[in-house]
Amino acid sequence: MKLLYTVYYKLQSRCEIALRTKHSKQDLYKFYTLPDEVRSAIFELGGITRVFNEQTQIFNESSILIRNCMLELVGYLKSMTNFDRPSPRFVLYGEHGVGKSMALVYALQYAHENNYLLVHIPWVLRWFAYPKEVSHSLTKEGMVDLNIDAAMWLRHFQKQNTKWLEDPRLTTSQEYVWSPREKSEANIPLAALIEHGITRVKYASDVVDVLFTEIKKLSTEGVCRTFVCVDGYNSFFAEKTNCKPEDKSKVLPSRVTLTRSVINLVQSDWNNGAIVLALSPRANLPDRRESHLPLYMLKKAGFESIDPFVPIHVPELNDEEFHNLLNLYESKKWLQTSEGREEIAFLTKRVPQKMYEFCSFK
Amino acid sequence: MNVAKLLKFSRCSPLHFSPSYSHSSFRLQHATGTSSNPQEADKFQEDEFRVFVIPGKNSVTEKRQERRKLKFKAQPPRYLKMPVDQDWTSVWPGPRTFHPAVVPLPLRQGYDKKRVAQGKFGNAELMKVPNFLHLTPPAIKKHCDAIRKFCTPWPQGLETEMQMEKHFPITVITSDYCHSSPTIRDIKARIVTIKLKLSTLELDDHARDKFLRLVGDRYNPKTDVLTIVTDRCPMKKQNYDYCMYVLTALFHESWTFEEWEKEKSTLDMEYYEWKDHPSYQTYLKLKAYPSQDTSNIEQEIGQDPLTQKYSKAVTDLFNQGEDVYTLARYKEATLELLLGQKTS
């Protein structure tokens, strides 16, 4: 066994290729470094998990393990040739902590390199579990707005697509009336629309809705190529939220305007784009986390909202990945010894998040 | 010589005065062979050493009472006298608790870590378990011979199981009880069970669905057998009649179509039918894209192999439940549908 470890220990586990587009099967199970400029460009306002953030601070390096599911997903994205067909949907599923969000990080980076317009919702449950401000919608009867959350998301979108928003071709197609005194003219740049949403928080949810409609139109016309990415999509079909409007009425996710906008965005009525969704048992209520399979997590309604989709399973680490990760921990002096690996594998089921927590005595 | 020394030594022993003591002392003297002087021996007899009595420690009673002996001699077990060719059915004619002296078998029952398992005498474990010593093949044969005169020949054309099922689809199960008690009635004798295969009834899709909903868990889908048990009437005959009535009523009720049955929605369906669900509409829209009109597409996709494949994958996912295999087939179908990639 010891011999086996040393074999793994000697493996070249670093990948020097910077571009995600050029990664191939030979780079599998190696670590690549997420450059700081990319990190600040895409993930400054969310998208990177707590565990990975901690690790980055501790190791002073953001290394990401290249895994099969990442290459599979990016492979599908690369193989898309016919952009006249409706945007395909890919669904990542797997147990809690296996690295679904890291796969999304990888895909987002790929999309960023290939000049996609990014529509990225980092963690849907944050809207429903910790809503900042809940108010009744002015435009849609019986619906509820999450004003500050919507505005914060607009800021995230603005940050991620700084380059695209300077493009003069991205304009609104029609006039939008927010209130008797406020309206947006047709043919104003999207950047102005977003700015309106951020400054007039009251209308942020409506702006998000309008923005999605416009993005769908622009993509279909071929102005931009859009990459939609939602982490924790199954939260939209949970039985409960923590949103409490003034009248203390019960709010299901379906009553929130953002839910309707996002579900509308992931329909197959637009082309020239790709949709990647991640499902997580953590995004469900605690009584519904027995299985990590898509139909169980989404239930029938959720499944039908995105059917047909390509399910991509994110498994636990395999032998090589497992030893590579522990090798990294050892080289960073995070793990003192190379013994006891079988025990770690047994106790953590090779789930990377659990491994990290186990090795840090949490 | 050193006899005194030896005696001194023997004084230390826990033995107190007893006849055996004097005997042993004599032997000691003899063994040393130094003195055969009777005077000296007498001196020893007189000079008995004192007994150190510890109150409470030394027992006052001299001898344990001997056990009372049995007045009569026990007979050896019966099985030792049994001839090898005896008629066992008359030795053990009916059901009875195990008796070690009667059964001529070297049985053992139980578990001991260090020793061999306990024998049959005084073994409660052997008495606890029910035995079938009264149901030996010769006993059954004898029994059959005795009741043969009451039997009629087996009807022709009912030789195989298939033929029996065809001509007699319903199995009626009742029980009779015989006790040696003041009453010959047993309350359990009233229960009637009937069993039949559902495939023997003529039912269409609707009737079958309704029938199954009416009978609930009385139907076993694995064996296709319906079981109805009646015990509400006091007599067996009444229960049997009631059973037949229930079966008839169930059959005719499932064939009737009530007005309210039209309200059955897709959620009430017993299985997933792809074309009744939103998934089908989304599929049509996807196929028709970019046009919004789905009416033409509907006819086109009828015989399309990809549609068939996809429809089967979705249906299986819902009907069989999701697992690695159904998900893999679904993935295969969607990959071909969305990206035009053929995996197999």
Query: pLDDT digit string (tens) for A118-151?
Result: 999 999 999 999 999 999 998 888 899 999 999 9
Contact across the interface for B322 and A294, Cβ inside 8 Å:
yes
Contact across the interface for B338 and A308, Cβ inside 8 Å:
yes
**pLDDT in the model for residue B58:** 66
B93 CB neighbour count, 10 Å cutoff: 12
Compute the distance between CA of residue A229 and CA of residue A277 in angstroms, rounded to an integer. Answer: 6
Closest CA to A220 of A165, A275, A269, A276: A269
CA distance A304 to chain B (A): 6
CA distance A96 to chain B (A): 18
DSSP, collapsed to helix, strand or coil, labels residue A317 as coil
Environment class of B294 (CB within 10 Å of its CB; exposed 0-12, middle 13-18, buried 19+): middle
Environment class of B107 (CB within 10 Å of its CB; exposed 0-12, middle 13-18, buried 19+): middle
Which of A80, A306, A307, A314 to substitute to test the interface with B, most B CBs within 10 Å?
Answer: A307
A9 CB neighbour count, 10 Å cutoff: 15
Q: In the structure, what pLDDT confidence band is assigned to residue A362 with cuts at 50, 70 and 90?
A: low
DSSP, collapsed to helix, strand or coil, labels residue A187 as coil
Q: In the structure, what pLDDT confidence band is assigned to residue A22 with cuts at 50, 70 and 90?
A: confident
Is residue B305 one of the residues assigned to a domain?
Answer: yes
Is the Cβ–Cβ distance between A214 and A119 less than 8 Å? no
**pLDDT in the model for residue A23:** 79
Residue B164 at interface with chain A, using a CB cutoff of 8 Å: no
Is the Cβ–Cβ distance between A69 and A285 less than 8 Å? no
Compute the distance between CA of residue B287 and CA of residue B294 in angstroms, rounded to an integer. Answer: 8
Closest CA to A254 of A166, A122, A143, A125: A143
User: What six digits make up the tokens of B20?
Assistant: 């055996």
Same domain, B232 and B293: no
**pLDDT in the model for residue B60:** 61
Number of structural domains found in chain B = 3
At CB < 8 Å, which residues of chain A contact B?
76, 79-80, 82, 84-86, 88-89, 220, 268-269, 271, 293-296, 300, 304, 307-313
Return the amino acid letter for A112: H
Q: Check pLDDT > 70 for residue A317.
A: yes
Same domain, B259 and B279: no
CATH of the domain at B243: 3.30.160.20
Label each residue of B97-141 as H, E or C.
CCCCCCCCCCCECCCCCCCCCCECCCCHHHHHCCCCCCCCHHHHH
Q: Find out whether the peptide bond into A308 is cis, omega within 30 degrees of 0.
A: yes
How much is the average pLDDT of A11-39? 79
Range of the domain at A4: 1-359
**pLDDT in the model for residue B89:** 94
Is the Cβ–Cβ distance between B239 and B190 less than 8 Å? yes
CA torsion through residues B141, B146, B149, B154, sign? negative
Is residue B332 one of the residues assigned to a domain?
Answer: yes
Contacts of A295 in chain B (CB under 8 A): 317-318, 322
Is residue B50 one of the residues assigned to a domain?
Answer: no
The residue in chain A having the minimum alpha-carbon distance to the alpha carbon of residue B327 is: A311
**pLDDT in the model for residue A360:** 85
Compute the distance between CA of residue A153 and CA of residue A46 in angstroms, rounded to an integer. Answer: 9
Contacts of A221 in chain B (CB under 8 A): none
Q: Show the DSSP H helices in chain A as ranges.
A: 2-9, 36-42, 50-59, 68-79, 100-113, 125-129, 147-160, 162-165, 190-199, 204-221, 257-265, 294-306, 319-331, 341-348, 352-359
Residue B133 at interface with chain A, using a CB cutoff of 8 Å: no
CA distance B344 to chain A (A): 16
Return the amino acid letter for B241: D
How much is the average pLDDT of A66-77? 93
Instruction: Write out residues in chain B with pLDDT < 50, as ranges.
Output: 1-36
What count of Cα atoms within 13 Å lies in the side-chain half-sphere of residue A361? 3
Residue B140 at interface with chain A, using a CB cutoff of 8 Å: no
- Contact residues for B286 (Cβ-Cβ < 8 A; gap 6+): A86, A268, A308, B337
Same domain, B246 and B290: no
Is residue B22 one of the residues assigned to a domain?
Answer: no
To which residue do tokens 């009828």 refer? B302
Contacts of B340 in chain A (CB under 8 A): 82
Q: Find out whether the peptide bond into B290 is cis, omega within 30 degrees of 0.
A: yes
Q: Give kind and range of the element (H or E) at residue B252.
A: helix B236-255
Is residue B125 one of the residues assigned to a domain?
Answer: yes
Closest CA to B175 of B190, B185, B165: B190
Contact across the interface for B286 and A308, Cβ inside 8 Å:
yes
The residue in chain A having the minimum alpha-carbon distance to the alpha carbon of residue B311 is: A308
How much is the average pLDDT of A52-57? 91
Is the Cβ–Cβ distance between A229 and A276 less than 8 Å? yes
Is residue B10 one of the residues assigned to a domain?
Answer: no
Among partner residues B285, B322, B340, which is closest to A269 by beta-carbon distance?
B285
Compute the distance between CA of residue B231 and CA of residue B174 in angstroms, rounded to an integer. Answer: 11
Is the Cβ–Cβ distance between B330 and A294 less than 8 Å? no
Considering the entire predicted model, what is its pTM?
Answer: 0.70
Same domain, B227 and B317: no
Number of structural domains found in chain A = 1
B34 CB neighbour count, 10 Å cutoff: 12
**pLDDT in the model for residue B211:** 95
Contacts of B285 in chain A (CB under 8 A): 268-269
Compute the distance between CA of residue B120 and CA of residue B106 in angstroms, rounded to an integer. Answer: 7
Among partner residues A79, A268, A269, which is closest to B341 by beta-carbon distance?
A79
The residue in chain B having the minimum alpha-carbon distance to the alpha carbon of residue A78 is: B339
| DSSP secondary structure, A223-246, as one string | S--EEEEEESGGGGG-S------T
**pLDDT in the model for residue A345:** 94
Contact across the interface for A88 and B290, Cβ inside 8 Å:
no
Angle in degrees, CA B272, B277, B280, rounded to 5: 110
CA distance B264 to chain A (A): 18
Is the Cβ–Cβ distance between A171 and A191 less than 8 Å? no
CA distance B282 to chain A (A): 7
**pLDDT in the model for residue B43:** 57
Contact across the interface for B338 and A85, Cβ inside 8 Å:
yes
**pLDDT in the model for residue B35:** 45
Residue B337 at interface with chain A, using a CB cutoff of 8 Å: yes
Task: Please name every residue paired with A65 in a beta bridge, in sequence order, or none if there are none.
Answer: A31
Contacts of A220 in chain B (CB under 8 A): 290
Segments of chain B assigned E as strands: 171-173, 192-197, 219-220, 225-230
Range of the domain at B331: 274-339
Among partner residues B282, B290, B339, which is closest to A307 by beta-carbon distance?
B282
Is the Cβ–Cβ distance between B313 and B344 less than 8 Å? no
Contact across the interface for B327 and A84, Cβ inside 8 Å:
no
Is residue B81 one of the residues assigned to a domain?
Answer: no
Among partner residues B285, B327, B337, which is closest to A311 by beta-carbon distance?
B327
Residue B275 at interface with chain A, using a CB cutoff of 8 Å: no
Contacts of B331 in chain A (CB under 8 A): 310-312
Is residue B115 one of the residues assigned to a domain?
Answer: yes
Is the Cβ–Cβ distance between A332 and A59 less than 8 Å? yes
